[in-house]
Every structure is written in structure tokens, then in C-alpha cells.
Structure 1
Amino acid sequence: MNRNIIASESFASSPKRHYFLDFKLAENNSNYIQITRSDQQPDLTYKTSRVNVFEKDFEFLIQVFAALFHSAAYQHQQDVGMKEIREQLKSARGIKNWPPGAP
């Protein structure tokens, strides 16, 4: 195991595409998140793309993801306020569009 990885999660979106999300410790003892996408090529090699998000940007990243998911979830509803959202969430479980019992 890589010593600078504090926590790691991964998933496959298809048999030939995998994502890895790693919470890492940099050489200067700061934290960062590395998101890696790995695509299998026709010659069975892999093409890898990475994005690093450093600790000073974590709060911004979380805010942007929250705004993005909120906008996507309510894009077809006009004038939805926090009261309406809270009412909808009372009965909701899990992640929208995931089948019940999905991880």
C-alpha cells in the first residue's frame, strides 16, 4: 500500500473504466485528494487521467459539489424553497436515482 494514502475508495463505471478517489498526505504534510480515471485501451494498456485538489481548496470543492448536485436534483422544479426541499427529504433515502439497497 502506498504510505501517503490515508483513505481510498474506488469503483468501476464499466468493465473498462475505473475511478479511484484517494485522500493523500503530501511531502509537506498537507492533505490533498487525488481523483484518477483509468480507461483500458484496445491494446489492453491503460490511459490514466488525474486531478489533484489541495487542502486549501477542500471547502470550495465541497461547496461547488453541493451546488452542482442541488441544481441537478431540482432543475425541473421552479421556485423550490428550503421548506419544500426539507419536506421532500423526509421521505427520501439514499442517493436519488440509485436503486434501494445500493451502496
Structure 2
Amino acid sequence: MKNRMIATESFRSGKDIYFFDYLVAVNGRHYLRIARMENCSDGPIKRSKVVIFEDVIQPMIAAFAYLLHSGAFAENQDQTPKDIREKAQEIKALRESMDPDMPLRERLGLYGAGTLTEHELVSLLLGLGTTSDEATHMADELLGHLGGNTAKLIGMTQADLCRIPGIGMAKCSVILAAMELGRRSFLAAPITGSPVDFRYSQN
């Protein structure tokens, strides 16, 4: 029994051809195969490929989306890797100087959402905007269930979230609403420097 092709797409760029194949292996696992075929004028055709299995496809898509979005919507299009590192160091230093007992809502208002950790952002969504034990415990449960990878929230349903201890219907609704707002904001923002504005429209 051979691996079965489910869907395939390809495109040409100059002398190179790129293939994107979605397959199912003999063991039932789905995977994405990305291949490049390079036509060399002075030698044989060169082939290269990478295989990505289903358990990392969604995190990979999320990572690419974040990367491309960050590049397209950066406040300063001329910023260098050094600028990005320095900004990250500034945020880290600011976090270390902040009063750990300050309520999260106040901290967000004074210093911006970018200074909050993922755990604090989740606590803010699930709790009352304080450092209460209840909100912290729920954030621990959620992040533990996700293995610390918030990209796994993509595609989760209310039923999926409600299986996590301490996360009821109300908290599920808050998380799903926040994810949907983030998705719409991402798609609705115009791409700077492009002749076409890609915008989200809801029918």
C-alpha cells in the first residue's frame, strides 16, 4: 500500500517549479510535502523537499502568518534585526521593573498589552484582571493543556475548551470571541505597500 495523494498544487517561478502535496501515509497520518525542482542549465535537475506532519501543520501556519503579518504591518518598515532585539530587551527590562502586585488591567493600561506575558494575557481573559489565585490557576490549566503553545487555540471549538478543568461556557465564549476578533483584525488590516488591499468582509 502506498501513500495516497489528497490534493496538490504547484507553481513556476523562473526555472524552478514548486509543488505542494497533501497526502495520507500508510499509517493514516496526514502530511504536507513541499518540493522544489530546479532546472539547471549546466547540469541535471536538482530536487529538494521537506515533509511536515499533521501535528505541526497548524502551528507552522500560525508561525508563518505571524511572521508575514509582523513584516507587513511593522510600525517602522525600515527597522533592522538589531532594532527588533533592542525593542524586545526594552520590554523585558520594563517587565522586570513593574510592580508584580499591580492589577493586570492597570498594568495593561499603563504599559501596553505587549508587556504582558502569555500567562498574564490568558489570566486577564479568564479572570477579573487581577493576580487572583483563581485566574492564575485557570491560566495554568489552559496553558498546560496546550503544552504552552497558544497556537493550538486555532481551530478549537467550545466543546474542546470546555473539556479543560475550570473552563466553563462563559470562559470559552470569552476565549473564542478574542480569537475571532484577532482573526478579523488580522484579515481586515490593509497590507502596506501593496497595490491591493486585502480586507475581511463578513457576508
Please, what TM-score do these two structures have when normalized by structure 1? 0.70
Whichever structure has more helix as a proportion of its residues is: 2
Counterparts of 2:195 and 2:7, CA distance in 1: 24
Name the counterpart of 1:20: 19
1:56-98 deviation per Cα after TM superposition (whole angstroms, max 9, x unaligned)? 11121111111111112113x25xxx89x94x937x59xx747
Structure with the larger RCO, 1 or 2 (CA within 8 Å, 6+ apart) = 1
> For 2:195 and 2:10, how far apart are their aligned partners in 1?
17
Structure 1 letter corresponding to 2:10? S
Alignment of 1:20-59 (within 5 A): 20-43=19-42, 45-59=44-58
Aligned to 2:66: 67
1:9 equivalent in alignment to 2:108: no
Structure with the higher fraction of residues in strand conformation: 1
Change beyond 3 A, Cα 1:66–1:46: same
Taking the aligned partners of 1:45 and 1:98, their CA distance within structure 2 comes to 39
Q: Structure 1: give runs of 5+ residues left out of the alignment.
A: none
Is the radius of gyration larger for structure 1 or structure 2? 2
Task: Report the Cα offset of residue 26 of structure 1.
Answer: 0.8
1:18-51 C-alpha deviation (Å, 9 max, x unpaired)? 1000001111111000000110012463101100
Q: Can you give the 5+ residue segments of structure 2 that lack an aligned partner in the other structure?
A: 77-180, 198-203
Identity of aligned residues (%): 31
SS in 2 for 1:49: strand
Q: Distance in 1 between matches of 2:71 and 2:65?
A: 10
Moved runs in structure 1, 4+ residues, more than 3 A? 96-100
Q: Separation in 2 of the partners of 1:17 and 1:46?
A: 10
- Select the residue among 78, 85, 89 that pairs with 2:188: 89
1:3 positional shift: 6.4
